[in-house]
Chain A
Amino acid sequence: MMVVLLVLPLLGTLFMLLWPKIAPLLALLTASVCSLAALQLLFLVSEQGNQQVLLAGWPSGLAISLEANSLSSLLILLTALLQLLVGLYAFATHRRDKLGAGFWPLSCMLQLGLTALWLSRDLFNLYVCLELLGIVAVALVSLSGDKAIKPALNYLLLSLFGSLCYLLGVAILYGAYGVLDITVLAARWQADLPSSIALLLMTLGLMLKAALWPLHGWLPAAHAAAPAPVSALLSALVVKGPLFILCLLWLQLAGATQVAAVAPWFAGCGLAALLLGGVSALRTPFAKNMVAYSTVAQLGYAMLALGLLLRFNQPLFAAALWLFVLAHALAKAACFLAIGEITATLGGKRINTLKGASQTMPLAMFAFAVAGGSLIGLPPSGGFLAKWALLQGLWLQGGQLFWLLAIVLATLLSAAYVFRAVVLAFDRADPVAPDFAPRILPQWLALLPALAVWAMALYSEPLLQLLKQEGL
């Protein structure tokens, strides 16, 4: 099953390059088959426990091993479903938005890189996945033409630098321990100086790639310059890859003293991302930049949850961390698709373009508002679920008034930037006239993930249980 999930996108990409004419069809087909396979993998894992595959039957240690637990199969399912949805959106709008033909094979490669990343438990395989993901993401950003080249190049340079830092860490760890497999490495782990240096280098590289504060500078420009479907994929999925590896490193490898030293820094960075990212989202005059800054802010929640999880070792924080990742992926895909659709139809990049959008494009605006509700954390959305887990964990620890207040402040900030757009949309006095008749299908496609994130609340109990026990 896992091999199918990897081979299928690869084959799909090859065939797309051979027959570019039916590339959209192939992309949709690949994504839908992969979604089914991912669903089956999820069932398999929930029934029979963790699955492991050693490629080509080599003994463990030599073979490339793939491991699926329920978290990674959930993430694979999310990846495949979002890929399908964004593929449909891109198919519905590619003539109008002049989306390059390169989108289809590249998005398929993106799916391959992400799936491989969720399944790998080997430091070097993870490096290869990271590189693949970074290069494909940059190529996708550069699809939107000349104005995107500069941010794309900047993204590429920083992403390469991040990967090199990660690679240096891998080299040091291999030199010290002689293994790359994370579980074996964790058994031999000693919290000495080389391993601390290696961990710090890898953390630096991954934070740069995941755009975690204070290394987030490249993200708003790159995500805002990309075409709408690409921004949706990048914000929803790509930045989560390095975050996943970061969690693997710190939750499975690092020794107790190392964890204790770094946990407050992680929590502090998360808090700074929440506040400063929120303020930037509130101040920026461009609609897509606002959503991109909101990604920076929301990644702060994940970082904060990771820091608190490392500090208190409370399973509720693990649940909060992964719930944030899931809810943010769905909500951000909806936001980017909705904003992309609105700005394309109303013809403008500034937030002022949204003026009167509740009248001219009610569906897309509804999608944005509903997804924004999850970003704020309004009950009963997925974002609320995550925030509730975080608050409950803090409450159970007791005496964490500072963090509780900080989260309240961050929530107010995210409410402010979401409502800034929504209020403009309800200003019906002088609405911006659409350049052409708004299309229904893309708006519905933008609404789907927004509804899905609210539907997460229906499955809150099993999700919480699953993520609490998993936590990697």
Chain B
Amino acid sequence: MTDLSSQLLLYIGTAAGLFGIGLYGFIVGPQTLRRILALNIIGAGIFMLMVVLAYRGLAEEAALTLTDPVLHALILTGLVVAVSATAFALALLTRLNQAKSAQCKPDQLRHGQEPEQ
């Protein structure tokens, strides 16, 4: 962890910045959609950090010519998890909004099913 060229530092700084932005959005953002997006930005920051580490995680002389395949595999797995989790969160959000709009019109519901008990 000693020999960090300025380019790598820039990348790591960007990754940290993305993480910070996402963290701010997650903690502050009142809307659920914004918080979901903020989680994605955090994820992007972490994956970027992992991409950068893949270049410098190996032995010193091999750095920048060879990359670490393990980290790439980890990023792929992480991306799959992040995408499916985001999809799930969005689906839940849609259902929440549907439930809310159904609650606003209880007259229509009375004919169909019971409103929320």
Which residues of A sit under 8 angstroms from B102, Cβ to Cβ?
146
- Would you call B84 an interface residue if the criterion is a C-beta within 8 Å of the partner chain's C-beta atoms? yes
Give bound CA distance, A314 to B1, whole Å.
36
- Would you call A194 an interface residue if the criterion is a C-beta within 8 Å of the partner chain's C-beta atoms? yes
Q: Is the CB of B74 within 8 A of A138?
A: no
Q: Is the CB of A128 within 8 A of B39?
A: no
| B52, closest chain A residue (CB) | A175
Give bound CA distance, A139 to B88, whole Å.
9
Q: Is the CB of B116 within 8 A of A147?
A: yes
Give bound CA distance, A357 to B79, whole Å.
51
- Would you call A226 an interface residue if the criterion is a C-beta within 8 Å of the partner chain's C-beta atoms? no
Distance in angstroms from A184 CB to nearest chain B CB is: 13
- Would you call B81 an interface residue if the criterion is a C-beta within 8 Å of the partner chain's C-beta atoms? yes
Q: Which of A135, A150, A157, A176 contacts B84 (CB 8 A)?
A: A135
Distance in angstroms from B25 CB to nearest chain A CB is: 11
Contact with A along B51-77 (1 / 0, CB 8 A): 001001110000000001011001001
Given known A-B contacts A157-B36, A168-B46, A174 and B95 have beta carbons under 8 A apart: no
Q: Is the CB of A164 within 8 A of B39?
A: yes
Q: Interface residue tally of chain A, by bracket? A: 20 to 34
Q: Which of B42, B89, B95, B116 contacts A156 (CB 8 A)?
A: B89
Q: Is the CB of B53 within 8 A of A174?
A: yes
Which residues of B sit under 8 angstroms from A127, Cβ to Cβ?
78
Q: Is the CB of B77 within 8 A of A124?
A: yes
- Would you call A171 an interface residue if the criterion is a C-beta within 8 Å of the partner chain's C-beta atoms? yes
Q: Which of A128, A138, A156 has the most CB of B within 10 A?
A: A156
Q: Which of A146, A156, A164, A194 contacts B46 (CB 8 A)?
A: A164
Q: Is the CB of A161 within 8 A of B39?
A: yes
Give bound CA distance, A139 to B92, whole Å.
9
Q: Is the CB of B1 within 8 A of A194?
A: yes
Give bound CA distance, A360 to B2, whole Å.
71
Q: Is the CB of B95 within 8 A of A149?
A: yes
Which residues of A sit under 8 angstroms from B39, Cβ to Cβ?
157, 160-161, 164
Which residues of A sit under 8 angstroms from B9, Cβ to Cβ?
none
Give bound CA distance, A194 to B1, whole Å.
10
Give bound CA distance, A3 to B98, whole Å.
42
Which residues of A sit under 8 angstroms from B53, Cβ to Cβ?
171, 174-175
- Would you call A462 an interface residue if the criterion is a C-beta within 8 Å of the partner chain's C-beta atoms? no
Give bound CA distance, A138 to B92, whole Å.
10
Contact with B along A170-192 (1 / 0, CB 8 A): 11101110101000000000000
Task: Label chain A's interface by main secondary structure.
Answer: helix
Chain B interfacial residues counted at CB < 8 A: 34
Q: Is the CB of B85 within 8 A of A168?
A: no
> Which residues from 82 to 111 on chain B have a C-beta closer than 8 Å to any C-beta of chain A?
84-85, 88-89, 92-93, 95-96, 99, 102
Given known A-B contacts A149-B95, A156-B92, A174 and B46 have beta carbons under 8 A apart: no
- Would you call A54 an interface residue if the criterion is a C-beta within 8 Å of the partner chain's C-beta atoms? no
Distance in angstroms from A432 CB to nearest chain B CB is: 17
> Which residues from 105 to 135 on chain A have a C-beta closer than 8 Å to any C-beta of chain B?
124, 127-128, 131, 135
Q: Which of B1, B50, B85 has the most CB of A within 10 A?
A: B85
Which residues of B sit under 8 angstroms from A174, Cβ to Cβ?
50, 53, 57, 70-71, 74
| B74, closest chain A residue (CB) | A124
Which residues of B sit under 8 angstroms from A168, Cβ to Cβ?
19, 46, 49
Q: Is the CB of B57 within 8 A of A167?
A: no
Q: Is the CB of A149 within 8 A of B89?
A: no
Contact with B along A49-87 (1 / 0, CB 8 A): 000000000000000000000000000000000000000
Q: Is the CB of B42 within 8 A of A161?
A: yes
Which residues of B sit under 8 angstroms from A150, Cβ to Cβ?
96
Give bound CA distance, A205 to B22, whole Å.
15
Give bound CA distance, A160 to B92, whole Å.
14
Q: Is the CB of A128 within 8 A of B81?
A: yes
Give bound CA distance, A167 to B77, whole Å.
11
Give bound CA distance, A104 to B1, whole Å.
48
Instruction: List 19 A-B residue pairs with CB atoms under 8 Å apart, sorted by A's residue number.
Output: A128-B81, A131-B85, A135-B88, A139-B88, A146-B95, A146-B102, A149-B92, A152-B92, A153-B92, A156-B88, A160-B85, A167-B78, A171-B50, A171-B74, A174-B50, A174-B57, A174-B74, A175-B49, A176-B1
Closest 5 CB pairs of A and B: A175-B53, A146-B99, A149-B96, A153-B92, A131-B81
Interface positions of A (Cβ within 8 A of B) = 124, 127-128, 131, 135, 138-139, 142, 146-147, 149-150, 152-153, 156-157, 160-161, 163-164, 167-168, 170-172, 174-176, 178, 180, 194
Interface positions of B (Cβ within 8 A of A) = 1, 19, 26, 32, 35-36, 39, 42-43, 46, 49-50, 53, 56-58, 68, 70-71, 74, 77-78, 81, 84-85, 88-89, 92-93, 95-96, 99, 102, 116
Q: Can you name 9 extra interface pairs (CB under 8 A) apart from A150-B96, A157-B26?
A: A138-B88, A149-B95, A156-B92, A157-B36, A168-B49, A171-B46, A171-B74, A174-B50, A194-B1
